Chain A
Amino acid sequence: MMEPRLGTPLSSEDFEQGKVFTESYAPKAEYAWDTGPSIGRYLAELKEGRLVGRTCRACKRTFIPPRSFCELCFRPADDWVVFPGTGKVNTFSLCYITWDMRKLKDPQIPAVIEIDGASEGHGILHLLGNVDPKQVKVGMRVRAVWKPAPERAGAITDILHWEPMP
């Protein structure tokens, strides 16, 4: 192979000391993402303290988050289902870093929680709470902890976190 060409390394000091000319720009990228009818109802139900999903009769699937069509067979989705608000930890992590690389002393505990009432392996991303990080295990049974009704806004964060079932 030939020698690599270019790729001149700069250090953070090169930037801080102005050794290279730079320009900076922050676009104002603000969005209003339409929820569509399925996620629209998902959020409305969360505000009411309920976790919901939908079914596909052809694939015999019950899925969450709800969607307007089944992505496997392409039919419009069928019935709405209300879940009991319990589940099982499919996987989890203990995260000590934020999205902009700041360190956390106490870890956040993201998890994929398989939702009771949905098809096998169908879950959502959420956070675990009220649990010693060292005690978290794959397969652990958990239940949703809801914010009090006046604080619920129609958001996934209307569920504060999921805690171990007693």
Chain B
Amino acid sequence: MRVSSGQPWTAWRGNIPVTSLYTAGLAGQDFLEALKSRGEITGSKCAKCRQVYVPASIFCERCFGELKERVRVGPEGEVVTFTVCHLDLDGRELARPQVAAAVRLDGATSVLVHRGLGDVAKWKIGARARVRLAAKRRGSILDIEGFELA
């Protein structure tokens, strides 16, 4: 941590050294277990509010009810929106443009966001897409490799 020199007013350099460790949570643990061991995408149904939340949730954010009913959604769905990224988090040019897509899987009311795979130019709102699973799964959202156009 040094003071930049050569100016009457200076800046002090430093960082905030925190690493975060996130648990998946009660619903998240089940969601990832289903994904890891069975390759299934799980949502939670609130019959009262006519919602199916994906990933699964233990409560409905609208009525606050406890959600016990789990449903399997997908593996196909509709592209609700997408974008093509050209820069990384630090503003540097990506080697290849990447699609980020929000897909409403069949049976869900919420969208799931993940990578869009395949030819960037072919992506369209309203297109059908399907989940492609990763070859090796460990209980992570990256057990999904991304969405590919169906």
Residue ranges of A at the interface with B (Cβ–Cβ < 8 Å): 6, 8, 10, 15, 20-37, 40, 43-44, 153-155
Known: A34-B11, A43-B3. A27 touches B23 (CB 8 A): no
Across the interface, which residues of B come within 8 angstroms of A29, CB to CB? 15-16, 18
By the criterion CB–CB under 8 Å, are B8 and A40 in contact?
A: yes
Indicate the size class of the contact surface on chain B. Answer: 20 to 34
By the criterion CB–CB under 8 Å, are B15 and A26 in contact?
A: no
Q: Known pairs A27-B16, A32-B12, A35-B9. 12 more at Cβ < 8 A?
A: A21-B139, A24-B19, A25-B19, A25-B22, A26-B18, A26-B19, A30-B15, A32-B4, A33-B12, A33-B13, A35-B3, A44-B8
**CB within 8 Å of A: which of B20-59?**
20-24, 26, 28-29, 32-33
Across the interface, which residues of B come within 8 angstroms of A28, CB to CB? 15
A10 to chain B, nearest CB (A): 7
In the complex, number of A-B residue pairs with CB atoms less than 8 Å apart? 80
Residue ranges of B at the interface with A (Cβ–Cβ < 8 Å): 1-5, 8-16, 18-24, 26, 28-29, 32-33, 139-140
By the criterion CB–CB under 8 Å, are B21 and A22 in contact?
A: yes
Across the interface, which residues of A come within 8 angstroms of B4, CB to CB? 32
Across the interface, which residues of B come within 8 angstroms of A32, CB to CB? 4, 11-13
Known: A21-B32, A24-B21, A25-B20. A154 touches B14 (CB 8 A): no
Question: What is the bound-complex CA distance between A6 and B23, given in angstroms?
Answer: 15
Across the interface, which residues of B come within 8 angstroms of A37, CB to CB? 8-9
A-B contact pairs, 26 of them (CB 8 A): A6-B26, A8-B26, A10-B23, A15-B21, A20-B24, A21-B23, A21-B24, A21-B28, A21-B32, A21-B33, A22-B21, A24-B20, A24-B22, A25-B22, A29-B16, A29-B18, A30-B15, A31-B13, A31-B14, A31-B16, A32-B13, A36-B9, A43-B3, A43-B10, A43-B12, A153-B3
A42 to chain B, nearest CB (A): 10
By the criterion CB–CB under 8 Å, are A154 and B18 in contact?
A: no
Question: What is the bound-complex CA distance between A31 and B139, given in angstroms?
Answer: 34
A114 to chain B, nearest CB (A): 25
Across the interface, which residues of A come within 8 angstroms of B2, CB to CB? 153
Across the interface, which residues of B come within 8 angstroms of A8, CB to CB? 26
Across the interface, which residues of A come within 8 angstroms of B14, CB to CB? 30-31, 33
Across the interface, which residues of A come within 8 angstroms of B32, CB to CB? 21
Across the interface, which residues of B come within 8 angstroms of A31, CB to CB? 13-16
Question: What is the bound-complex CA distance between A10 and B26, given in angstroms?
Answer: 12
